[in-house]
């Protein structure tokens, strides 16, 4: 092996610092999954402690999502102006403060406000952590390291459902426990550098080289990687369509429609209904608390396992194909589930069938459309509008989540549990039609190819065959 080949190989190896970067991203993803998932089991205790009904339960569950919308939009701008590193340090502090404040809240009002603060960190993490990892990781490992965030969300949901199902941990302790990994995330961030790409964009080329050298093997030749970073920064700065204003451009609009439409339908699929409210829905329909909480654990494990399977096959099956194949089965699962409740077949003898249908729905949704919500935001938009596009997509996702969470239990009380499942089945059918017509197959296409299709006005599914 020549000297140049040795330098190139050294520059693309994983180092201890890169592993720490991926660990920080994983912790932020775990906190996202845990903090949003823990409310599922905790609501049963919170309702008893505070003596509140479904309206307050919806507000408490949704407050973290309102905060997430604010956090996603705010941290998008903050990370562009002040850097990824400083933004993640702030997010770590807010995670700790929000977790402790929520666990100590004396009434539902302060609990909701504390979870609003916690939501700021959740939304900010979804916006900033994957970008930070992508900008520091060697190209050969970038995809796998960024996906640590997605996998960690599932791990966080599983841990939250297990904690809830244990029924021996007070809800205050369960919520406050999240402060420990949040503090660890903050401490780990202290030893990491700023993003070299952000530093280069700010004209700090010497600091960019220093930052890159801290996450590459000692003695590596960084000239090629630094040249690529400079070229990308120059391309972004020279682009005529940039930032939030660039999203208004006619040629960018198809990407925005697909991205934000996909984000909305990931929530209208019904998965958040299942993640947040399964114990409440089941106990309201005669299930015991223990049974309902154990079902949540099964659903959390299904979420994690099918996400791992989906991530393993997505590049072979294709994003569009995987989504379109799984959506009809998700809709069918909800139709069957709704029929159980509409026809009165929701008693103890039907528990195995209801659980099996819930698991089937979770498998087809988590292993299908749920994989696309965060993935497409990093690849569908032109380079100069990518940060703004990802933020708009994230806000669309969280905003839809807020509306669902605030209205779901009231909707079930108004029209019935089974009818609500039918409604969400209809949303899945509409999602299939929308994505069939609008979403091209992006698998195997470089970011430059995708941008070229957009610029030429050829972004329909037929244009990518």
Residues 254 and 368 in one domain: yes
Residues 79 and 175 in one domain: yes
Q: What pLDDT score was predicted for residue 61?
A: 86
Check pLDDT > 50 for residue 155.
yes
Give per-residue pLDDT as tens, 64-104: 989 988 998 898 889 888 899 999 999 999 999 999 999 99
Q: Which helix (H) or strand (E) holds 408?
A: helix 386-415
**Calpha distance 306→326 (Å, rounded):** 12
Q: What's the whole-number mean pLDDT along residues 394-413?
A: 86
Q: What pLDDT score was predicted for residue 119?
A: 93
The torsion of the CA quartet 174, 180, 182, 186, rounded to 10 degrees, works out to 170
Check pLDDT > 90 for residue 3.
no
Domain end marker among 151, 175, 192? 192
Closest by alpha carbon to 188, among 288, 315, 91? 91
Mean pLDDT is lowest, of 10-14, 96-100, 149-153, 443-447, for: 10-14
Check pLDDT > 70 for residue 10.
no
Look at 7 and 179; give whichever has higher pLDDT: 179
Q: With both helix axes pointing from N to C terminus, report the angle between 319-342 and 289-317 in degrees, rounded to the nearest 10.
A: 160
**Calpha distance 242→238 (Å, rounded):** 9
Q: Is 237 a member of any domain?
A: no
Mean pLDDT rounded to a whole number for the chain:
86
Q: Is 374 a member of any domain?
A: yes
**At 31, is the pLDDT very low, low, confident or very high (cuts 50, 70, 90)?**
very high
Domain count across the chain: 2
- 52 is in which domain, residue-wise? 9-192
Check pLDDT > 80 for residue 6.
no
Residues 451 and 341 in one domain: yes
Q: Which helix (H) or strand (E) holds 198?
A: helix 196-201
For the ranges 51-65, 262-276, 318-332, the maximum mean pLDDT occurs at 318-332
Give per-residue pLDDT as tens, 339-375: 998 998 777 777 788 889 999 999 999 988 988 876 7
Residues 50 and 170 in one domain: yes
Give per-residue pLDDT as tens, 201-235: 888 989 988 988 888 887 777 888 888 888 877 87
Radius of gyration from C-alpha coordinates of the chain: 22
Q: What's the whole-number mean pLDDT along residues 427-448?
A: 89
**Calpha distance 462→58 (Å, rounded):** 42
**At 446, is the pLDDT very low, low, confident or very high (cuts 50, 70, 90)?**
confident
CATH code for position 61: 1.20.1250.20
The torsion of the CA quartet 291, 294, 298, 303, rounded to 10 degrees, works out to 110
How far is residue 310 from each of residues 161, 226, 363, 389, measured CA to CA in Å?
Answer: 21, 34, 10, 24
Q: Would you put residue 239 in left (φ > 0), alpha (ψ -120 to 50) or beta?
A: beta
Query: Is 226 within 8 Å of 208 (Cβ atoms)?
Result: yes
């Amino acid at each position: 092996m020549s000297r140049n080949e040795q330098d190139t190989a050294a520059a693309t190896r994983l180092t201890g610092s890169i592993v720490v970067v991926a660990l920080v991203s994983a912790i932020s993803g775990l906190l996202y999954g845990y903090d949003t998932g823990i409310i599922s089991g905790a609501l049963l205790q919170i309702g008893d402690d505070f003596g509140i009904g479904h309206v307050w339960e919806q507000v408490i569950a949704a407050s973290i999502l309102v905060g997430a919308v604010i956090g996603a939009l705010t941290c998008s701008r903050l990370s562009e102006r002040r850097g990824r590193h400083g933004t993640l340090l702030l997010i770590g502090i807010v995670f700790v403060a929000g977790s402790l404040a929520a666990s100590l809240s004396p009434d539902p009002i302060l609990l909701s406000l504390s979870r609003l603060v916690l939501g700021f960190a959740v939304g900010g993490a979804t916006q900033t952590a994957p970008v930070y990892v992508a900008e520091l990781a060697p190209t050969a490992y970038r995809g796998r390291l960024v996906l640590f965030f997605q996998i960690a969300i599932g791990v966080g949901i599983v841990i939250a459902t297990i904690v809830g199902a244990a029924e021996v941990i007070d809800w205050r302790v369960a919520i406050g426990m999240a402060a420990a990994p949040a503090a660890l995330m903050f401490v780990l961030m202290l030893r990491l550098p700023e993003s070299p790409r952000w530093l280069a964009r700010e004209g700090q080329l010497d600091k960019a080289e220093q930052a890159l050298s801290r996450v590459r093997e000692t003695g590596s030749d960084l000239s090629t990687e630094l040249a690529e970073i400079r070229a990308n920064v120059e391309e972004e700065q020279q682009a005529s369509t940039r930032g939030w204003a660039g999203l208004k451009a006619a040629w960018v609009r198809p990407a925005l429609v697909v991205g934000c439409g996909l984000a909305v339908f990931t929530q209208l699929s019904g998965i958040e209904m299942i993640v947040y409210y399964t114990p409440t829905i089941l106990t309201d329909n005669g299930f015991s608390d223990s049974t309902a909480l154990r079902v949540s654990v099964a659903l959390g494990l299904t979420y994690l396992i099918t996400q791992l399977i989906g991530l393993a096959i997505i590049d072979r099956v294709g994003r569009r194909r995987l989504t379109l194949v799984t959506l009809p089965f998700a809709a069918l699962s909800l139709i069957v589930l709704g029929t159980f409740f509409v026809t009165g077949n929701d008693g103890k003898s039907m528990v195995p069938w209801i659980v099996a249908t819930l698991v089937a729905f979770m498998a087809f949704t988590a292993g299908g459309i749920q994989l696309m919500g965060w993935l497409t935001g990093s690849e569908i938009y032109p380079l100069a509008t990518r940060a703004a596009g990802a933020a708009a997509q994230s806000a669309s996702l969280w905003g839809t989540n807020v509306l669902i969470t605030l209205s779901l239990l009231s909707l079930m009380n108004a029209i019935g549990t089974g009818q609500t499942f039918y409604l969400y089945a209809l949303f899945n059918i509409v999602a299939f039609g929308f994505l069939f017509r609008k979403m091209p197959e992006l698998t195997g296409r470089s970011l430059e190819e995708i941008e070229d299709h957009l610029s030429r006005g050829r972004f329909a599914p037929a244009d990518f065959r």
